[in-house]
Amino acid sequence: MLSNVGEDGRVMDRDGKQVTYMKGNTLWHSDSSFKRVPCTYSLLVAHEVPSEGGNTEFADARACYDDWLEPFDGMAKDALEDLVCEHSLIYSRLNIVGDIFTAAEKDELAPPQQPLVRIHLRTGRKIYYVGRHCSHVVGWPVKKGRALTQALTQFCVRPETVYSHTWQAGDLVIGDNRSVLHRGMAYNPAQRRVMRRATIAGDGPLI
């Protein structure tokens, strides 16, 4: 459930844990990249939508890989092919809502390593596998690694590569996390928004 409506049918407290947790969805990301086996497709269906706002935006990460030509810190594009990054839900939530996880939850969310370049096994297309869960480049100074992944994320979300979906009740959108980044846009938290999401797991770890 991706909803601001509780089991009692009322709109949740905008400062409550569930609503606070969902604020992380407003940053560009790829679903479940923080899991050892990340998902392939995400299916999102709208049941109730606010009168305005709450769009979901999708950015073509394939275009990011194809179009990225600029060297980074003296490194040509080819030098980025074998880099590995750590992906962490704790890191991504910390940046927007603070430290909301218990010690036990942190133990369960041990961050996996993912390739910087993810290859779509059916099409052969490549993307830079970045977004808000991508914490840093393994083996690099953290500051340098984050500068690279944040630069790639920003390059992915150029206006010409972004589609913004305006929801109507009953809409179903399917996104391929091997091809796009996405984010949810802000809306009036006093209005009802009820969405359901299903994700399809991949065949195995990427590394």
Average pLDDT of the chain is 93
Higher-pLDDT residue of 13 and 200 is 200
What is the predicted pLDDT for the residue at 101?
76
What is the predicted pLDDT for the residue at 19?
75
Contact status, residue 86 vs residue 115, Cβ threshold 8 Å: no
How much of the chain exceeds pLDDT 70, in percent?
100
What is the predicted pLDDT for the residue at 52?
95
Q: Work out the average pLDDT over 31-60.
A: 97
Tokens of 130: 């970045």
pLDDT tens string 86-133: 999 989 888 777 777 777 877 888 899 999 999 999 999 999 999 999
How much of the chain exceeds pLDDT 90, in percent?
77
> Is domain 2-201 in CATH 3.60.130.10, yes or no?
yes
- For the chain, give every domain's residue range: 2-201
What is the predicted pLDDT for the residue at 80?
95
**CB neighbour burial string for 51-82, b if at least 16 within 10 angstroms, e if fewer:** eebbbbbbbbbbbbbeebeeeeeeeeeeebee
pLDDT tens string 52-85: 999 999 999 999 999 998 878 888 899 999 999 9
